[in-house]
């Protein structure tokens, strides 16, 4: 199955067969959060999409080194080369040290990822922990002639770079077009070219986070951290680099330029970009003010929310849209996902006590094949979910006695449901539910035992009343030759 995986590569704008550089191993880098405030649900969508991708690569038996950084320095307001440092601004507002801001929001980010059952990356490097590596890389870019120093700030020379390489490959734009879209330089600008960007920025006396460098005290630009950290942990050319689509045009374009200027080779074989979470068609962002925090979503404490939704219902909601399509938030969609998630979980429970028959009326091997095909087709989780619902339908049919399944196929169906629902989609049964479920299971065993006793005493009125009363609260009792069983009817 490994050699059948297709990945949509932003570089070629097409699905390509995935061939890792080293057979059996994958180097995966994903741009992590800028930890100056709480992550909103949009940020979570990107990280949950990559969690699905990471999980499927692992599921295929590949050994994955997953690096996801923490941006804790160098990210200026408006993603530009001038303006206030995001951490320093927040530190002043909250009257904290910048590193207290970093610590607070890093911990918050980890908590949220845990709630969504996202696996931690293999390495989570920070920009502040890799200042030396960034300085070394900037020195190399200057030595190779693609950067220049102006008053203690180092700029990448985009036009010079473009004479040998092609800048803007990721968005398929030529330099002339890109230049047209940028503002004219003013007399005060230090930059030589309009598209030039800072690799190192000279600090001001009031700058809180600064480090010594060959060019004086300052701090790194935002783009250089990902080039320096990805090459340190994954090599000069690695397999997959990911991030949200909004990072394509500048951040990732500049990462390619920096790495290529250093090593004269493309840093990444497959560029993957996830699409945005929107609210009423508008991208969720801190600046648009339409960002729900995951906590608000779980409790329902937000004017746009009709109620709270559990982390797994939200994760399932995200899995029902392909990662390259936009996902629009709505209460209706979330409520539908809540039901769908519950249906899937109930069917997995029913699977535990399904009875076997002499033949299988459904083709379970074909179902398994379709699950793999969906995920091999650029991680198509919504198609996978449709197949898992088909699995749930078969389970319910067998449970109702309308279909039969052999012992071998039952084992296979159990494997499919467990592997794809838990390991690949990363869903789990919710903690509170599982406690309640255990209690319900116990209560039902007691009731069925009582019913058995009254039936033995030929008190059929009492046994029918028990069955009918349970039916009213959607618990269906079925009498078979092996005894009674129960299920919840949705």
For residue 73, state whether it binds Zn ion (rule: CB under 5 A).
no
Q: How far apart are CA 74 and CA 31, in angstroms?
A: 14
- Rounded to whole angstroms, the maximal C-alpha distance in the chain is 100
Angle formed by the axes of helices 311-319 and 331-352, nearest 10°: 100
For residue 424, state whether it binds ligand AMP (rule: CB under 6 A).
no
How many chain residues interact with ligand AMP (CB under 6 A)?
16
Stretch that binds Zn ion, among 226-234, 354-362, 457-465, 472-480 (CB under 5 A): 226-234
Structure tokens at 290: 């339409």
Choice between 48 and 367, CB closer to Zn ion: 48
Q: How far apart are CA 426 and CA 117, in angstroms?
A: 6
Choice between 228 and 484, CB closer to Zn ion: 228
Stretch that binds ligand AMP, among 31-39, 143-151, 349-357, 414-422 (CB under 6 A): 31-39
Structure tokens at 229: 């950290």
Dihedral sign computed on CA atoms, order 297, 321, 345, 393: positive
Ramachandran region, residue 80 (left: φ > 0; alpha: ψ -120 to 50; beta: rest): beta
Site for ligand AMP in 234-263 (CB under 6 A): 243-244, 246-247
Question: Are 62 and 2 a contacting pair, CB within 8 Å?
Answer: yes
Stretch that binds ligand AMP, among 126-134, 256-264, 279-287, 367-375 (CB under 6 A): 279-287
Choice between 74 and 168, CB closer to Zn ion: 74
Which of ligand AMP, Zn ion, none does 42 bind, CB closer than 5 to 8 A by kind?
Answer: ligand AMP
Determine the number of helices (DSSP H) and then strands (DSSP E) in the chain.
16, 15
Structure tokens at 186: 């003013």
Q: How far apart are CA 53 and CA 228, in angstroms?
A: 23
How are beta strands 238-244 and 218-220 bridged, if at all?
Answer: unpaired
Secondary structure of residue 150 in the 3-state scheme: strand
Structure tokens at 58: 């692992």
Rounded to 5 degrees, φ, ψ at 71 are -85, 110
Site mask for ligand AMP (CB under 6 A), range 40-79, x = bound: --xx-xx---------------------------------
Structure tokens at 295: 């906590």
CA angle centred on 236, ends 171 and 227, rounded to 5°: 55
Structure tokens at 423: 């390991």
Stretch that binds ligand AMP, among 141-149, 263-271, 278-286, 391-399 (CB under 6 A): 278-286
Which of ligand AMP, Zn ion, none does 246 bind, CB closer than 5 to 8 A by kind?
Answer: ligand AMP
Stretch that binds Zn ion, among 29-37, 96-104, 325-333, 375-383 (CB under 5 A): 29-37
Q: How far apart are CA 182 and CA 147, in angstroms?
A: 20
Site for ligand AMP in 285-344 (CB under 6 A): 285
Site for ligand AMP in 427-446 (CB under 6 A): none
How many chain residues interact with Zn ion (CB under 5 A)?
2
- CB 30, min distance to ligand AMP, A: 7
For residue 240, state whether it binds Zn ion (rule: CB under 5 A).
no
Dihedral sign computed on CA atoms, order 167, 173, 176, 181: negative
For residue 98, state whether it binds ligand AMP (rule: CB under 6 A).
no
For residue 226, state whether it binds Zn ion (rule: CB under 5 A).
yes
For residue 34, state whether it binds ligand AMP (rule: CB under 6 A).
yes
Site mask for ligand AMP (CB under 6 A), range 187-216, x = bound: ------------------------------
Dihedral sign computed on CA atoms, order 141, 143, 145, 147: positive
- CB 318, min distance to ligand AMP, A: 10
Q: Which residues contact 25 (CB under 8 A, 6 or more apart)?
A: 62, 63, 64, 65
- CB 31, min distance to Zn ion, A: 3
Stretch that binds Zn ion, among 23-31, 57-65, 359-367, 457-465 (CB under 5 A): 23-31
For residue 276, state whether it binds ligand AMP (rule: CB under 6 A).
yes
Which of ligand AMP, Zn ion, none does 416 bind, CB closer than 5 to 8 A by kind?
Answer: none
Please pick, from the candidates 5, 7, 30, 31, the single residue that binds Zn ion as defined by CB under 5 A. 31
Which of Zn ion, ligand AMP, none does 220 bind, CB closer than 5 to 8 A by kind?
Answer: none
- CB 68, min distance to ligand AMP, A: 10
Q: How far apart are CA 93 and CA 474, in angstroms?
A: 53
Catalog residues that contact Zn ion under the rule CB under 5 A.
Answer: 31, 226
Binding site for ligand AMP (CB under 6 A): 31, 33-34, 42-43, 45-46, 243-244, 246-247, 276-277, 283-285
């Amino acid at each position: 199955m490994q050699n059948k995986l297709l990945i949509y590569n932003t570089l070629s704008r097409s699905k390509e067969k995935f061939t890792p550089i080293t057979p059996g191993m994958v180097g995966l880098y994903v741009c992590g959060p800028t930890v100056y405030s709480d992550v909103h649900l949009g940020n979570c969508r990107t990280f949950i999409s990559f969690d699905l991708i990471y999980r499927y690569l692992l599921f295929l038996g590949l050994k994955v080194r997953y690096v996801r950084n923490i941006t804790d320095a160098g990210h200026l307001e408006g993603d530009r080369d001038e303006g206030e440092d995001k951490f320093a601004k927040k530190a002043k507002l909250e009257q904290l040290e910048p590193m207290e801001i970093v610590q607070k929001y890093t911990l918050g980010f980890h908590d949220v990822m845990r709630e969504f059952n996202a696996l931690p990356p293999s390495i989570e490097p920070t920009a502040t922990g890799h200042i030396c590596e960034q300085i070394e890389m900037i020195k190399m870019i200057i030595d190779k002639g693609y950067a220049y120093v102006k008053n203690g700030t180092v700029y990448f020379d985009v036009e010079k770079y473009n004479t040998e390489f092609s800048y803007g490959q990721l968005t398929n734009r030529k330099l002339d077009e890109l230049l047209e879209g940028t503002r004219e330089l003013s007399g005060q600008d230090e930059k030589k070219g309009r598209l030039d960007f800072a690799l190192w920025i000279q600090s001001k006396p009031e700058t809180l986070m600064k480090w010594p460098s060959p060019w004086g005290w300052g701090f790194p630009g935002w783009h250089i951290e990902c080039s320096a950290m990805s090459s340190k942990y994954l090599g000069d050319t690695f397999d997959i680099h990911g991030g949200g689509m909004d990072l394509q045009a500048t951040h990732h374009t500049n990462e390619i330029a920096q790495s290529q200027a250093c090593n004269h080779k493309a840093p990444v074989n497959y560029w993957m970009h996830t699409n945005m979470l929107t609210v009423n068609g508008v991208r969720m962002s801190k600046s648009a003010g339409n960002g729900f925090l995951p906590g608000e979503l779980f409790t329902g404490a937000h004017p746009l929310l009709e109620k709270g939704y559990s982390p797994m219902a939200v994760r399932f909601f995200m899995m029902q849209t392909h990662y390259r399509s936009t996902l629009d938030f709505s209460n209706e969609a979330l409520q539908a996902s809540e039901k769908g998630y519950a249906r899937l979980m109930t069917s997995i429970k029913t699977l535990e006590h399904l009875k076997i028959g002499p033949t299988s009326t459904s083709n379970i091997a074909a179902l398994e094949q379709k699950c793999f095909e969906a995920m091999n087709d650029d991680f198509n989780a919504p198609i996978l979910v449709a197949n898992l619902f088909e699995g749930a339908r078969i389970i319910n049919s067998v449970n109702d006695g309308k279909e039969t399944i052999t012992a071998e196929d039952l084992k296979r169906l159990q494997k499919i449901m467990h592997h794809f629902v838990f390991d690949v989609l990363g869903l789990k049964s919710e903690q509170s539910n599982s406690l309640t479920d255990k209690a319900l299971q116990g209560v039902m065993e007691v009731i069925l035992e009582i019913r058995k006793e009254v039936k033995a005493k030929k008190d059929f009125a009492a046994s029918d009343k028990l069955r009918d009363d349970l039916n009213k609260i959607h618990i269906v009792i079925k009498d078979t030759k092996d005894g009674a069983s129960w299920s919840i009817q949705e």
